[in-house]
């Protein structure tokens, strides 16, 4: 038995029980209804002092595009914005082949970024647009891009976003991040040059989790919410974060989960609220969404990862509900690598371009 086989023998069989609460599906159906309301959702910003509605906003599926004069004739490049909830405007990039149009639709891709990063650079997306995809990359609200977070939270958090809104699942930060993600996917699918039945999602770390969760929500509720037209045909999650969160907390050494360490130190040093906190986090655990993902999935794992411990990624992978493949990198930690990017290119070409 080789080194790789020895290391993964136990991991391959690791499939912990899901930690879903009884109302998990109802919670997310009601959340998604806020985005896919037939009448179109109105959202409000509350003045915390007057406790009155100060502004009203409309959630949109229309990407607002600003043309960028980029020196490549083969690709059209735009700044993109999208009106999300609570008056937050999501900002990003949108690229598609110059030959694409209403009568020549192309598959769509959305790239989700990692924790504390942003939409990235135009040059990073050219790789995909030049292959024949329409590709959208948006900031995650409140992180390190051009997109703020207009939500008002009832309490503070430790540095970062992982502990923001831990007073309630309805208030928790990632609830709105997940909704932003499926809203952006639907906006892409409704573009005239995009084949909404051929949507691919991908990202690393936090981006991998957002890809899995978004594919799950759209797949699960497509028949229940008439506003969903996007069909996710393929998803790729590199070293996905936010999975099997209790074990991730127990085994992590670094990465964003250290924020939770400090949260307990500052607010709950005796862990008297531990069960309450992990019950709340179970609504946002990517592992709990995995069985709803029915499309082909490609996942990567670094066996020396100390931010997203390998068992937590296997927990997600082993619960995925469709055709799936995991690529194991024994000598990588929590980092992207070119080999996986090459495999993603082949994966999406097969699943979306029919190559």
Question: Average of pLDDT values for 192-197?
Answer: 98
pLDDT recorded at residue 42:
52
If we measure between CA atoms, which residue out of 254, 206, 201, 239 comes closest to residue 329? 239
> pLDDT tens for residues 195-224?
999 999 999 999 999 999 999 999 999 989
* pLDDT top residue among 277 and 43: 277
* Average per-residue pLDDT for the chain: 93
Rounded Cα gap, residues 126 and 108, in angstroms: 13
- Inside any domain, residue 262: yes
Instruction: Tell me if 180 is assigned to some domain.
Output: yes
Q: Is residue 317 part of a domain?
A: yes
Rounded percentage of the chain residues whose pLDDT exceeds 90: 84
Residue 47 forms part of a structural domain: no
Per-residue pLDDT at 242? 98
| CB-based contacts of 147, cutoff 8 Å, min separation 6 | 88, 89, 90, 91, 138, 139, 140, 141
**313: pLDDT strictly greater than 50:** yes
So what's the pLDDT on residue 281? 98
Examine residue 139 and state whether it is found in any structural domain, yes or no: yes
Share of the chain above pLDDT 70, in %: 94
Provide the pLDDT confidence category of residue 54 given band limits of 50, 70 and 90: low
Total number of domains in the chain: 1
**pLDDT of res. 49:** 56
Averaged pLDDT, 113-117: 96
Whether residue 59 is predicted with pLDDT greater than 50 in this model: the reply is: yes
User: What is the pLDDT, as a whole number, of residue 152?
Assistant: 83
Does 167 fall in a domain? Answer: yes
Mean pLDDT, to the nearest integer, of 305-334?
97
Q: How far, CA to CA in Å, does 6 sit from each of 14, 310, 330?
A: 14, 14, 11
pLDDT at residue 39, as a whole number: 57
CB-based contacts of 182: which residues, under 8 Å, 6+ apart?
32, 35, 214, 217, 218, 230
Q: Average pLDDT of 99-127?
A: 97
Residue span of the structural domain in which 186 resides: 3-35+100-352
pLDDT at 182 exceeding the cut of 90: yes
> Of 285, 290, 284, which Cα lies nearest the Cα of 324?
290
Confidence of residue 37 (pLDDT cuts 50, 70, 90): confident
**Got the DSSP string for 119-159?**
S--HHHHHHHHTTT-EEEEEPPTTSSSS-------SS--SS
pLDDT for the residue 46: 46
Is the predicted pLDDT of residue 271 greater than 90, yes or no? Answer: yes
Q: Is the pLDDT of residue 90 over 90?
A: yes
| Predicted local confidence at residue 50, as pLDDT | 55
- Give the HSE-up count for residue 256: Cα atoms under 13 Å, Cβ half-sphere: 19
In a 3-state reduction of DSSP, which class is residue 328?
strand
Q: CATH number of the domain at 30, please.
A: 3.40.50.1820
pLDDT of residue 9: 85
> Which residues does the annotation mark as catalytic?
205, 305, 334
Whether the predicted pLDDT of 40 surpasses 60: no
Does 144 map to a domain? yes
In a domain, 76, yes or no: no
């Amino acid at each position: 038995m080789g080194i790789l086989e020895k290391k993964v023998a136990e991991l391959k069989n690791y499939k912990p029980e899901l930690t879903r609460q009884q109302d998990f599906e109802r919670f997310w159906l009601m959340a998604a209804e806020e985005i896919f309301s037939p009448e179109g959702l109105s959202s409000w910003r509350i003045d915390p002092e007057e406790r009155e509605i100060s502004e009203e906003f409309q959630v949109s599926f229309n990407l607002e595009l600003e043309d960028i004069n980029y020196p490549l004739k083969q690709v059209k490049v735009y700044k993109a914005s999208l009106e999300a909830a609570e008056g937050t405007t999501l900002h990003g990039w949108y690229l598609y082949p110059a030959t694409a149009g209403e009568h020549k639709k192309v598959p769509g891709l959305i790239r989700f970024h990692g924790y504390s990063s942003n939409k990235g650079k135009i040059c990073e997306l050219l790789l995909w647009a030049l292959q024949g995809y329409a590709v959208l990359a948006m900031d995650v609200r409140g992180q390190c891009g051009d997109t703020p977070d207009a939500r008002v939270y009832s309490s503070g958090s430790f540095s970062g976003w992982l502990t923001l809104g831990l007073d309630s699942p309805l208030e928790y930060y990632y609830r709105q991040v997940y909704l932003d993600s499926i809203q952006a996917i639907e906006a892409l699918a409704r573009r005239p040059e995009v084949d909404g039945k051929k949507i691919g999602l991908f990202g690393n770390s936090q981006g991998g989790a957002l890809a899995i969760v978004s594919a799950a929500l759209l797949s699960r509720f497509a028949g229940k919410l008439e506003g969903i037209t996007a069909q996710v045909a393929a998803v790729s999650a590199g070293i996905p974060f936010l999975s099997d969160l209790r074990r991730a907390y127990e085994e992590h050494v670094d990465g964003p989960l250290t924020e939770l360490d400090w949260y307990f130190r500052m607010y709950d040093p005796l862990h008297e609220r531990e069960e309450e906190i992990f019950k709340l986090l179970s609504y946002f655990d990517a592992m709990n969404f995995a069985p709803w993902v029915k499309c082909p999935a490609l996942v990567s794992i670094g066996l020396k990862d100390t931010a997203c411990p390998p068992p937590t990624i296997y927990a997600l992978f082993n619960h995925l509900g469709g055709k799936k493949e995991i690529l194991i990198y024994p000598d990588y930690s929590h980092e992207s690598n070119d080999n996986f990017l090459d495999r993603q290119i082949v994966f999406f070409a097969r699943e979306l371009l029919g190559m």
